[in-house]
A and B are shown apart, each in its own frame.
Chain A
Amino acid sequence: MLMAGPNGGRLDRSDEELLQDTVGGDLRAFDVIVRRYRDRLLNFVFRFLGDRTAAEDVVQETFLRVFRKSGEYHASARFSTWLFTIAGNLAKSELRRRKRGRFTSLGWNEEAEQHIEIPDDRPRPDAFAETEIATEAIQKAIESLPPNHRQVVILSDIQGMAYEEIAQIVGCPVGTVKSRINRGRLRLQNKLERLGYLPDSMEAE
């Protein structure tokens, strides 16, 4: 990205080593970091915000901040944890900014959740469109979760992170993370059931 050419040897280096190389002026090392994490970060932020353009901005800002603060990184936490913490905080700030600017998504408060229904345009004839609609509905349902629940559900079920790592990222005890994940999943489940995108758990076996 920054410079063309081989990344000889850099691909095998750990994140922490690459960051040290970046501090030493090796910009290709930072390029490897960007390539290593951009997709995961983009998916995390996109699922959180539901806006691709805003998600790309947040991810760019995350990398920029990491680049700026690369000399301040201490290996007390994993690099990926640090990265996701920065991205998560920026995504939350963006969400607040958008909320102030009336860019609200579907309301996530309890009352609103009871009344807002996403229009169901199904069924569409081809399977691809079907999948697209389902994906969009799931995304909307994720966005309807409170931010704290949304963040941990994405980190857990989409990013596949462990409770302990999520706890470090969101800065909460592991018990709180477990509770938020469970409540987030149940809400999401309830919403998607009502929309017909999940089997109805109330149906008799």
Chain B
Amino acid sequence: MTCKTCRKWMSEFLDGSLDVWRKRDFDEHLKGCPACRNQLHTMQVLQKTLAHLPPIRPSSHFHFALRARLTEELGRGKRFRSGFRLWGLYRRPILVAASLALLIVSSIRLSRHEPTEPMRTSERIVTHYILERISPSDRSASISLNSDSNVQCATPDTVFVPDQTVSGRIRTVSF
């Protein structure tokens, strides 16, 4: 082992983590090399010196400052707490499963009531089930629109609702 190699393994030798074979070579080298022995001794002194450096204690305002910062953090946390709670709910698997089930059932039910025709320019709402109860002569007189004048009566059995009134659907038409 050369002095260079010896210095390379010096820390591991001191820390006791050198493997058996390297340690044997290391010991052999040390026996015949006073310079490396000195170097090793100095490193030991350095280790002891570093281990015994006087500890630093926190200043008197350390805790006050930390407390102030934590309090500020807590205050900030409260502002978002409702949001975090909601998010917390979604992290629970049972609630997630229940929510998904509800979503699926709702989608299926809604899809049954969806009009088959696209709702781009106007929505056609068939009102047979309502109009059939009114005699044809009375229909035009009987149909009154509760709020939205855009709803138009096209034929005796149907009404058209332009885009902007779609949200009202059949409930906006009253008899």
Quick one: closest A residue to B69, CB to CB?
Answer: A64
Residues of chain A at the chain B interface (Cβ within 8 Å): 1-2, 27, 30, 34, 38-39, 42-43, 46-47, 52, 55-56, 59-60, 63-64, 67-68, 131, 135, 138-139, 153, 156-158, 160, 163, 178, 181-182, 185-186, 188-189, 192-193, 197-205
Smallest CB separation, A141 vs chain B (Å): 10
> Which A residues are CB-close (under 8 A) to B43?
185-186, 189, 201
CB<8 Å pairs between A and B, sample of 9: A27-B70, A42-B56, A43-B55, A56-B65, A157-B47, A185-B10, A198-B45, A199-B38, A205-B37
Contacts A43-B55, A55-B56, A131-B54 known; list 9 others, CB within 8 Å: A56-B65, A59-B62, A135-B53, A157-B47, A182-B9, A186-B10, A186-B43, A200-B42, A205-B34
Determine if A158 and B45 form an interchain contact, defined as CB atoms under 8 angstroms apart. Answer: no
Determine if A201 and B38 form an interchain contact, defined as CB atoms under 8 angstroms apart. Answer: yes
Chain A binder among B11-19, B102-110, B126-134, B167-175: B11-19
Determine if B59 and A56 form an interchain contact, defined as CB atoms under 8 angstroms apart. Answer: yes
Determine if B39 and A201 form an interchain contact, defined as CB atoms under 8 angstroms apart. Answer: yes
> Which A residues are CB-close (under 8 A) to B73?
64, 67-68
Smallest CB separation, B44 vs chain A (Å): 10
